[in-house]
């Protein structure tokens, strides 16, 4: 939907890309203009899970520092959980199965009126949110 100027919620795969030694040029260009972003607690959980499973001290330090400097961490509230469950049920009824984590992230974006920055655009189709892929830029 929109590019770097819009208010944005950042998906887990964007953090993974930024932590690489040589990130995708589109993601780098996007991040150069970022001062403050929003991130779901679900993304914090997903990154923490990944770093527990395969610890990389450099990435853990980068992630913790990036969160502290640039991110507003958004909680999953009752309203967000209800919206996520409703969306997941509606999509499943149409044969479009989505993960609970993705729908919680999508519902967080919808609830706060944020554009979601993600490589996984198809995972959020039908969620009624703006999605932007910096990998395609």
The 10s digit of each residue's pLDDT in 54-72 is 999 999 999 999 899 889 9
Question: Is residue 52 assigned to a domain?
Answer: yes
- Our count of domains for the chain comes to 1
Question: Is residue 137 assigned to a domain?
Answer: no
Q: Is the pLDDT of residue 6 over 80?
A: no
Confidence grade of residue 13 (pLDDT, cut at 50, 70, 90): very high
Q: Is the pLDDT of residue 93 over 70?
A: yes
Question: Is residue 59 assigned to a domain?
Answer: yes
Question: Is residue 18 assigned to a domain?
Answer: yes
Range of the domain at 53: 8-132
Question: Is residue 24 assigned to a domain?
Answer: yes
Question: Is residue 28 assigned to a domain?
Answer: yes
Q: Is the pLDDT of residue 37 over 70?
A: yes
Question: Is residue 29 assigned to a domain?
Answer: yes
Both tokens of 83, joined, read: 């919206």
Both tokens of 103, joined, read: 């729908």
The 10s digit of each residue's pLDDT in 115-137 is 999 999 999 999 999 999 999 97
Question: Is residue 49 assigned to a domain?
Answer: yes
CATH of the domain at 30: 3.40.50.1010
């Amino acid at each position: 939907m929109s590019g770097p100027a819009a208010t944005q919620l950042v998906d887990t795969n964007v953090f993974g890309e930024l932590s690489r030694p040589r990130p995708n040029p589109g993601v780098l260009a996007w991040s150069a203009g970022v001062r403050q972003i929003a991130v779901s607690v679900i993304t914090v959980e997903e990154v923490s899970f990944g770093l527990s499973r395969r610890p990389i001290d450099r990435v853990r330090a980068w992630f913790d520092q990036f969160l502290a400097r640039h991110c507003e961490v958004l909680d999953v509230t009752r309203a967000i959980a209800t919206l996520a469950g409703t969306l997941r049920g509606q999509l499943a009824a149409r044969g479009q199965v989505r993960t609970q984590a993705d729908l919680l992230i999508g519902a967080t974006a919808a609830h706060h009126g944020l554009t979601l920055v993600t490589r996984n655009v198809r995972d959020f189709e039908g969620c009624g949110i703006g999605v932007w892929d910096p990998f395609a830029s």
